[in-house]
Amino acid sequence: MADEGRRVGIATEAASGALRPGILSGRRRLPVAGLATLPFFVYATAFLFVPAFSVMVGAFQDKADHATFSNIRLLFHHPYIDAYWGSIRISLITAALGCVIGLFVAYAAIRDGTPRWIRSTLTTFSGVAANFGGIPLAFAFIATLGPLGVVTTWLRSRGWDITYQTPHFQISSERGIEVAYMYFQLPLMILVIAPAIDGLKREWREAAANLGAKQWQFWRHIGIPVLMPSFLGAFILLFGNAFAAYATAYSLDNGINIIPILIGDYYTGNVLNNPHIAQALAFGMFVVLAVMMVLYIPLQRRAARWAR
Amino acid sequence: MKRPRMSPSAYVWLLLAAVYFILPLYSTLDFSLKENKAGTPCCTLHNYGWVIHNGDFWHTIKISFILALETIVISLALFVPTIYLVHLRFPKLRPVLAFMALVPFVVPPIVMVVGLLKTFKWTPNWYFGTPWGFLATAYVILAFPYMYFSLDAGFRAIDVHTLTEASQNLGARWTTTLFRVILPNIRAAALAASFLTLAIVMGEFTIANLAAFHTFPIFLQYVNESQGFPAGALTLLSFLITWAAMLSLLLVGRKRGARGAIVPATR
Amino acid sequence: MTYLQLESLHRSFGSVKALSGIDIALGEGEFLSLLGPSGCGKTTALRLVAGFDRPDRGRIVVDGKDITGVAPNKRDMGMVFQAYSLFPNMTARQNVEFGLRIRGRDKGARRGRVDELLELVGLGHAGDRYPHQLSGGMQQRVALARALAIEPRVLLLDEPLSALDAKVRVQLREEIRRIQLELGITTLYVTHDQEEALAISDHVAVMYGGVIEQMGTPSEMYTAPKTPFVAEFIGTMNRLEAQVVDGASGEVEHAGIRLRIDAARGRQNGDRVLILIRPEALELHAAGNGANGDANTLSAEVVTQTFLGPVTRLKMTGGLIADMSTARATALPVGANVVAHVPADGVQLLTLTDDLPDIGEGT
């Protein structure tokens, strides 16, 4: 550019301060603004995508870094396959219970007749409790249903010692973990399904009644179908949530055979000594969760469409 | 409308839920007020005293707290300009960001830590061996979905284009626009996201455990395993911290209507 | 013969009296509009008829039977809501046949009836679309078809056009009336739009504050409003406060000027009255034209002119409003001194009370 042009350019820029038409109109300025977002993408690549990718790669390598399926094949044997079933069992049960109970509790709080303060208390509490979990939660349940727990002691005083009499309950067990998991599964369900219940417009109920439908007919033809995408989406969310959980299970029963514990064992110096097994296990988790995500997205879209 | 009575079945469900949620909290309180022997009657503040006088407690809670602050600062510095620019200039990238915010659902902490430990094994100790390095960078990723949903909602609630153009028209530089015009307007969303991140970091156990750092939740677990009743006092304290953070979040969010998704992080 | 009867309906919500004694008698096949501003109780009344709410006092009788205690799903009435009432998970066709499904009609019978109704409302081609794929106007047509599918005894419409664009509103209201006449169905229609009510109803009931101020044919309501509220609410009205000077000859005094009003005959001297004159009834001439033979005139100055197409509205000092053809209005620009002739006959006179509702300018 000619000297003349450059001087004018500098003067213009100085005079107009930051009036940079380029940014707002600009194909020419694209690179500069784009650069400002670069740190984020670089960061995400370095700390999210690269590590995730390396897990996938490592799952298919042996100790000598040769490509192999042996790790993956091992996953289908004991104890790994049992760990997967354990994880899936816990996730399915807590997701199913969380969804059904959560739906009824949320509906109970929102329906006509229930005072408004109950709904807002429930929502606020759920917002806080959904983020609970881990070590404090485990202790709270040990304090409730453990061998010296408040409820255990009370039942014992009534003649039923659950630590050894049937029906038998132990907090350090798969059942115990499920009971504890409900403490964050239920609130999560409530948070997810409440807006969907709100979305059940009163006009639909009235129109249905006007056309002759009884309560159950409304639910069967309109209520449940409209809630279904949100319900299924919530189920998937809850499943993934339980599947990936680590801390609560670790604190309650760190011998339990589920995937996260197994992975953790390698790093906390327990059983595993082959890092590639841990990576294969992690890869297996990733696959299960990816399948869940693929199922989740179209459901979300459907639910959003009917909420309009 | 003459308010109809509360349905009896609603009553039952809500009562059951209330009992289920309150009982563990009550039990924790109960344990925290008992001395370290089974069968002792209520009530003593012995455990609380133990906690307050425990050096490790202060040490680890300080680490976790500073870690949380560090995470928040790095997150905001990284995400705010990016989300701002995407709203302003690159709307096509929004779905990309939204997709990235879903990745942690598919790559949860337990999976992420495996990858992180493998990838960064060879880095120098000042990064790999200290919580301010390794853990902080991991926590920034962990916080991303919550940060994203909150900040994105905040940006959507303001007219980014008009504010930016008005500011530039009045002669402001980019930095001025960002700090004096944009930031104050998304303050509620940023605060909400920060409180959520605080709660997450103060409760994060998985990554810290597998990478062998001594944060507050690690200390909590140690006390759980070794002590018993004093763990009650500690647990209650941990509850209170999380709740304080979450309630601040809700209060802040309610004021300006900028609320992000509240999805669990600590499990 | 009365088909739908509302007897002395009362309804309160806490301390708010939504309905204070509503009496309505509708003949079979009649179209009645409940017209009034928000909060007047018209929707409350409709919902009582539909069964979504119970009256505190009073009865609702259909075809001789008292249905006050009957559940809404057993009343055999079709209702069209203001918006959002189509079931989102069903196509238009499925929405329309819903009532028939509930009643257990078989598939073949349902299909025929649904086709018939979709044709009736002009949506024969859109049967397989979902509500979110339909425009507002189309959705309301489906809602109408759905309400009619079950051959209800009474058709109820709750401001069905309020949420639609102006043009669609005019179009659709004609269609609703056409269909209603074709089917001969007794209809109760709620609206706040007085033009709408006057255009399509057999009778109009103007409501305010939970009571019916006046009920009559559209023409009666327009030309002979019985209360100041009705006069103001329906169309625009010139309101002149006056005092009767000579009840024998019908002479009144307004703002120092003597006017002769036929309707004032027979009133007591000293009565305070309200003279109501429609804008189109006020004849304007340029001042100094010498055309004041009748001398029933008021002097004023033109303040604004509003172009309304074929008609121009002139607002003058003294609060006077006159409508005249645009061609003639050009002769009376802003600032012109005019003479307004008050016709002696055909002008409404009301007793002046202190509680004149303030509705602002009419539409």
For residues A277 and A70, is the Cβ–Cβ distance under 8 A?
no
| H or E stretch at C79 | strand C77-80
Chain A contact partners (≥3 CB pairs within 8 A): B, C
Structural contact between residues A75 and A84, judged by C-beta atoms closer than 8 angstroms:
yes
Neighbors of chain C by Cβ distance (3+ pairs < 8 Å) = A, B
pLDDT for the residue C363: 35
Query: What tens digit of pLDDT does each residue of A61-71 get?
Result: 887 778 888 88
Residue A29 has pLDDT above 80, yes or no: no
Instruction: Find residue C322's DSSP bridge partners.
Output: C314
If one looks up domain C2-231 in CATH, what number appears?
3.40.50.300
Tell me, what amino acid is at B2? Answer: K
Tell me the average pLDDT of chain C: 89
Q: What pLDDT score does B38 carry?
A: 59
**Best residue in A24, A139, A263 for a mutation probing chain B (most B CBs within 10 Å):** A139
Q: Closest residue of A to C51, CA-based?
A: A210
> pLDDT tens digit string along C16-60?
999 999 999 999 999 999 999 998 999 999 999 999 999 999 999
A160 or A238: which carries more pLDDT confidence?
A238
**pLDDT given at position C172:** 93
**How many CB pairs below 8 Å do chains A and B form together?**
288
C290: confidence class by pLDDT, cuts 50, 70, 90: low
The whole-angstrom separation of Cα A102 and Cα B14 is: 10
Which is higher by pLDDT, B63 or C264? B63
Fold of C237-351: OB fold (Dihydrolipoamide Acetyltransferase, E2P) (2.40.50)
pLDDT above 60: residue A26: no
Residue C249 pLDDT greater than 90, yes or no:
no
Q: Determine the residue of chain C that is closest to B4 in CA distance.
A: C53
3-state secondary structure of C226: coil
- Is it the case that residue C133 has pLDDT exceeding 50? yes
| pLDDT(A83) > 50 | yes
Is A201 in contact with C132 (Cβ distance < 8 A)?
no
The answer to whether the Cβ–Cβ distance between A207 and C89 falls below 8 Å is: no
pLDDT reading at A93 higher than 90: yes
Of B205, C23, C77, nearest in space to A249 by CA: B205
pLDDT of residue A272: 56
**Cβ C156 vs Cβ C82: under 8 Å:** no
| 3 state DSSP class of C207 | strand
Q: Are A127 and B246 in contact (CB under 8 A)?
A: yes
**Minimal Cβ distance to C85: which of A203, A217, A226:** A203
How is chain C split into domains, by residue range? Answer: 2-231, 237-351
Report whether pLDDT(C190) > 90: yes
Chain A residue closest to C155 (CA)? A210
- Going by their DSSP bridges, the two strands C2-13 and C154-158 should be labelled as unpaired
CA distance A197 to chain B (A): 15
The pLDDT assigned to C358 comes to 54
Measured between alpha carbons, how far is residue B116 from residues A274, B134, B208, B225 in Å?
17, 9, 12, 27
Using CA coordinates, name the residue in chain A closest to C79: A210
**Per the structure block, which two tokens stand in for C303?**
């303040």
Distance CA A287, CA A297 (A): 16
CB-based contact (8 Å) between A272 and chain C?
no
Cβ neighbours for B216, distance < 8 A, ≥ 6 positions apart: B60, B61, B63, B64, B65, B202, B238
Stretch C56-81: mean pLDDT, rounded? 93
Measure the CA–CA gap between A25 and A28, rounded to whole angstroms. 8
In this prediction, residue C342 carries a pLDDT of 86
**φ/ψ (deg, to 5) at C207:** -115, 145
Q: How many CB atoms lie within 10 A of CB A121?
A: 14
Instruction: Answer with the residue of higher pLDDT: C294 or C151.
Output: C151
Using the Cβ of B42 and the Cβ atoms of chain A, whether some distance falls under 8 Å is answered with no
Cα distances (angstroms) measured from residue A137 to each of A131, B113, B196, B266, C46: 10, 22, 18, 10, 53
Mutation target vs A (from C70, C74, C85; most A CBs, 10 A cutoff): C85
How do the domains of chain B map onto residue ranges?
Answer: 53-256
DSSP B32: H
Distance from CA of A144 to the nearest CA of B (A): 5
Which chains, if any, share at least 3 CB pairs under 8 A with chain B? A, C
Contact flag A52-B107 (C-beta cutoff 8 Å): yes
**A302–C contact, CB cutoff 8 A:** no
pLDDT at residue A308 above 70?
A: no
Greatest mean pLDDT among B151-165, C144-158, C270-284:
C144-158
Q: What is the pLDDT of residue A22?
A: 39
Strand order in the sheet with C65-66: C16-27, C2-13, C57-62, C65-66
- For the residues C90-103, what does the mean pLDDT come to? 93
* Alpha carbon distance C218, C220 (integer Å): 5
Say if residues B119 and A51 touch (Cβ distance below 8 Å): yes
Q: Which domains does chain A have, with CATH numbers?
A: 3-59 (no CATH), 75-306 (1.10.3720.10)
Residues 160-219 of C with CB under 8 A from A: none
The alpha-carbon gap from B110 to the nearest alpha carbon of chain A, in Å, equals: 6
CA–CA dist A64, C197 (Å, integer) = 87
Going by the DSSP 8-state scheme, the letter that residue C317 receives in this structure is G
Q: What is the pLDDT of residue A4?
A: 37
Q: Name the closest residue on chain C to residue B1, using Cα atoms.
A: C13
Tell the residue number behind the tokens 């204070």, with chain if given: C20
Class of domain B53-256: mainly alpha
| SS3 of residue C33 by DSSP | strand
* ipTM for this prediction: 0.83
Query: How many Cβ atoms sit within 10 Å of the Cβ of residue C355?
Result: 7
Portion 147-166 of B in contact with A at CB < 8 A: 164-165
Cα of A226 to nearest chain C Cα, Å: 6
Which residue in B83, B74, B70 sits closest to B182, CA to CA? B83
Nearest of B55, B196, B90, B3 to residue A29 by alpha carbon: B90
- Residue-level pLDDT at B260: 42
Cβ <8 Å between B108 and A285: yes
Q: What gap in Å lies between CA A251 and CA A79, rounded to an integer? A: 21
What is the residue-averaged pLDDT of chain A?
83
In the B/C pair of chains, how many CB contacts fall below 8 A?
3
Which residues of chain B does A27 touch, with a Cβ-Cβ cutoff of 8 Å?
none
Q: Which pLDDT score, from 0 to 100, does residue B258 have?
A: 40
Burial class (CB in 10 A: 0-12, 13-18, 19+), C281: middle
Tokens of A108: 């109970």
Q: Does A220 touch chain C (CB under 8 A)?
A: no
The residue-averaged pLDDT of A98-120 equals 91
- Check CB contact of C53 with chain B, cutoff 8 Å: yes
All residue ranges of chain B with pLDDT < 50 are: 1-2, 257-266
Q: Is B203 on the interface with A (CB under 8 A)?
A: yes
d(CA C63, CA C162): 30
Q: How far apart are CA A39 and CA A50, in angstroms?
A: 15
d(CA C284, CA C321): 10
DSSP state of C281: G
pLDDT for the residue numbered B253? 65
The 10 Å Cβ neighbour count of residue A155 is: 17
Higher pLDDT, C343 or C5: C5
The per-residue pLDDT for B2 is 47
Q: C44: exposed, middle or buried (C-beta count within 10 Å: 0-12, 13-18, 19+)?
A: buried
Contact (CB<8Å) B209/A127:
no
Q: Please tell me which residue of chain C has the smallest CA distance to B3.
A: C13
Distances (CA, A) of A77 to A12, A61, A70, A82, A278: 73, 18, 11, 8, 14
Of residues A35 and B55, which shows the higher confidence score? B55
Q: Which residue of C has its CA nearest to B2?
A: C13
Which chain C residues are within 8 Å of B2, Cβ to Cβ? 13
Residue A186's pLDDT band (boundaries 50, 70, 90)? Answer: very high
Q: Which residues of C touch B1 (CB under 8 A)?
A: 13, 53
Q: Which amino acid appears at position B55 of this protein? A: G
pLDDT at position C313, please?
A: 92
B247 φ/ψ angles, rounded to the nearest 5 degrees? -65, -40
Q: What is the pLDDT of residue C291?
A: 54
* 3 state SS of B104: helix
Q: Does B109 touch chain A (CB under 8 A)?
A: yes
Structure tokens at A116: 């408004």
H/E element holding B74?
A: helix B55-88
